[in-house]
């Protein structure tokens, strides 16, 4: 009798698990929100840790406190199969040797500033120039190349890491001590949330962003030209040959910059020299409200990524400078267009463009913005 009950109980258990899996193809495990911390190496005499965040659907985000780099991001496809959808490396040394900002936090000013020069309150500041004649992504040693202090946290519905860094007055030429805080949070809704905060003791400029290269078919698995993209943006920021804005904003209508209706990234990329590396002015750019600004679908895998932000612009970059010279995770070789970036931010060269929204931060003010990358599966293709 006891045996019979045990058998029945066992059968019920098996069918519950089976039923559960059938109904939640995205749900891989019966895991609870979880966080692990492992030593990853050291840089500048400081310890670098890798944090592994896992949510109850089995989605995994790994990040390190060197550069605030997201090294791995595993999400389910339409069959529930997990795959790593960000480009990156297997070791800290490779990130130290050479990386085109894979997965990093970029600052103090993400994107370019013409000739590394700007004027603030009548004073001219000269920043490091590290991209031809221009300043790019915070200079020679930007926030992507420093070791941040890190504290992790966990709740039943979310887990994350709080990264803090004090950028000293004069670092890379920027005025003011800037106290920066970046919080990465993984939620049970398959969102990776990034909260940015900063305060200063002198007037300065700030424009922080995140530089993951995504490939929703899995990192190293071909190019992203058949991914379908929609950008909630009716205007873009034209640039000169050194990628500095001309100061105008153009309508996307009828051009290869028009992603207002979803279509494949590759369909008109040949019309854009080198590929996409531009900023779009997001609709309702001055609302400062969180809204859906981009949606990407990979038809094969059914993975969908949505981007939400309160920022005025987004840099869409199609990995144009990847040329097969970098070997990434698992020895995968990264060729041109093997990943795309959607970097939420202010427009390039804003400090020199009076018509662009301001990037000035003053003592007593708080820079506070949020971006969310949300993952789903079951996208049908468009
Ligand atoms: C940004 C820039 C690109 C390139 C990459 C890094 O997205 O806009 O031009 O510099 O970073 O390679």
Q: CA 291 to CA 138: how far, in whole Å?
A: 27
Ligand 1 contacts CB of residue 130 (under 6 A): no
Question: Which atom of ligand 1 lies closest to the CA of 348?
Answer: 8
Expressed in angstroms and rounded, the spacing between residue 341 Cα and the centre of ligand 1 is 9
Ligand 1 contacts CB of residue 49 (under 6 A): no
Q: Give Cβ neighbours of residue 30 (< 8 Å, ≥ 6 apart).
A: 56
Express each pLDDT in 183-221 by its tens digit: 999 999 999 999 999 999 999 999 999 999 999 999 999
270: left (phi > 0), else alpha (psi -120 to 50), else beta?
alpha
Expressed in angstroms and rounded, the spacing between residue 265 Cα and the centre of ligand 1 is 17
User: Which pLDDT tens digits describe the chain residue by residue (382 residues)?
Assistant: 445 544 544 444 444 443 333 333 344 456 799 999 999 999 999 999 999 999 999 999 999 999 999 999 999 999 999 999 999 999 999 999 999 999 999 999 999 999 999 999 999 999 999 999 999 999 999 999 999 999 999 999 999 999 999 999 999 999 999 999 999 999 999 999 999 999 999 999 999 999 999 999 999 999 999 999 999 999 999 999 999 999 999 999 999 999 999 999 999 999 999 999 999 999 999 888 999 999 999 989 999 999 999 999 999 999 999 999 999 999 999 999 999 999 999 999 999 999 999 999 999 999 999 999 999 987 654 4
- Residue with CA closest to ligand 1 atom 3: 277
Instruction: Look up 250 and say whether it is catalytic.
Output: no
Q: Is the separation of the CB atoms in 88 and 71 below 8 Å?
A: yes
* Candidates 72, 211, 227, 278; catalytic one: 211
- Residue with CA closest to ligand 1 atom 7: 317
Q: CA 306 to CA 303: how far, in whole Å?
A: 10
**CA atoms within a 13 Å half-sphere pointing along the CA-CB vector of 363:** 5
Question: Which atom of ligand 1 lies closest to the CA of 243?
Answer: 9
Ligand 1 contacts CB of residue 101 (under 6 A): yes
Q: What is the pTM assigned to this prediction?
A: 0.91
Question: Which atom of ligand 1 lies closest to the CA of 111?
Answer: 8
Radius of gyration of the chain (CA): 22
């Amino acid at each position: 009798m006891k045996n019979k009950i045990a058998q029945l109980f066992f059968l019920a258990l098996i069918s519950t698990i089976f039923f559960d899996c059938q109904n939640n193809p995205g749900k891989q495990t019966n895991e609870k929100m979880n966080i692990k911390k492992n030593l990853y190496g050291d840089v500048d005499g400081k310890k670098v840790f890798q944090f592994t965040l896992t949510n109850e659907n089995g989605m995994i985000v790994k990040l390190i406190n060197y550069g605030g780099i997201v090294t791995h991001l595993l999400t389910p496809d339409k069959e529930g199969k997990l795959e790593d959808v960000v480009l990156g490396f297997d070791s800290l040394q490779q990130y130290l040797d050479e990386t085109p900002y894979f997965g990093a936090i970029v600052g103090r000013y993400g994107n370019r500033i013409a000739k590394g020069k700007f004027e603030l309150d009548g004073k001219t500041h000269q920043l490091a120039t590290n991209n031809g004649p221009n300043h790019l992504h915070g200079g020679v040693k930007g926030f992507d190349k420093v070791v941040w202090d890190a504290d992790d946290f966990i709740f039943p519905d979310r887990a994350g890491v709080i990264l803090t860094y004090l950028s000293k007055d004069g670092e890379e030429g920027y005025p003011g001590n800037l106290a920066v805080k970046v919080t990465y949070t993984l939620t049970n809704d398959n969102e990776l949330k990034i909260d940015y905060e900063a305060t200063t003791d002198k007037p300065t400029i700030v424009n922080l962003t995140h530089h993951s290269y995504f490939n929703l078919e899995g990192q190293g698995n071909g190019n992203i030209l058949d991914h379908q993209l929609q950008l909630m943006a009716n205007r873009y920021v034209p640039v000169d040959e050194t990628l500095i804005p001309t100061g105008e904003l153009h309508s996307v209508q009828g051009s290869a910059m028009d992603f207002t209706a979803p279509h494949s990234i590759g369909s008109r990329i040949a019309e854009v020299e080198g590929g996409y590396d531009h900023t779009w002015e997001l609709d309702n750019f001055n609302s400062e409200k969180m809204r859906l600004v981009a949606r990407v679908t990979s038809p094969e895998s059914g993975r969908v990524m949505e981007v939400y932000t309160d920022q005025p612009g987004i840099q869409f970059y199609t990995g144009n400078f990847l040329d097969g010279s970098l070997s990434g995770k698992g020895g995968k070789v990264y060729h041109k267009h093997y990943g795309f970036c959607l970097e939420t931010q202010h427009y390039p060269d804003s400090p020199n463009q009076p018509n662009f929204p301001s990037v000035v931060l003053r003592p007593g003010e708080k820079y506070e913005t949020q971006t969310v990358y949300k993952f789903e599966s079951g996208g049908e293709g468009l």
